[in-house]
Amino acid sequence: MIVEILSPSTSRKDRFIKFNKYLKAGVREYWIVDPDDNTVSVNILERGFYRNSVYGETDIVPVHVLEGCEVNLNEIFSEDENE
């Protein structure tokens, strides 16, 4: 599993160049976190291609390569620094 967090300077590289490299390398799960939009694009490798699902800041996202593991995006994208 690979998680990339986008920044303005690396967004294109993460979304296209690395995406294709990870696909060719057989990375089973690849997340692209967009902190500007509070979204996570989850790519799951199936039959040589990525199946993509996009989740928003209130979603709970299953980690497919770790059975039973989930990530609550509300906790990740929360603006309250005291949490």
Structure confidence by residue, pLDDT tens digits, 1-34? 999 999 988 888 888 899 999 999 999 999 999 9
**In-domain check, residue 82:** no
Question: Are residues 50 and 30 in contact, defined by beta-carbon separation less than 8 angstroms?
Answer: yes
User: Are the C-beta atoms of residues 73 and 64 closer than 8 Å to each other?
Assistant: no
Residue 64's CATH number: 3.90.1570.10
What residue numbers bound the domain in which 53 lies?
Answer: 2-77
| Between 52 and 10, residue with greater pLDDT | 52
Q: What is the mean pLDDT of residues 42-70?
A: 96
- Residue 17 resides in a domain: yes
Model confidence at 83: pLDDT above 60: no
Cα Rg for the chain, rounded, in angstroms? 13
Q: Answer yes or no: is 83 within a domain.
A: no
Q: From CA 21, how far away is CA 24, in angstroms rounded?
A: 5
pLDDT above 70 covers what percent of the chain?
A: 95
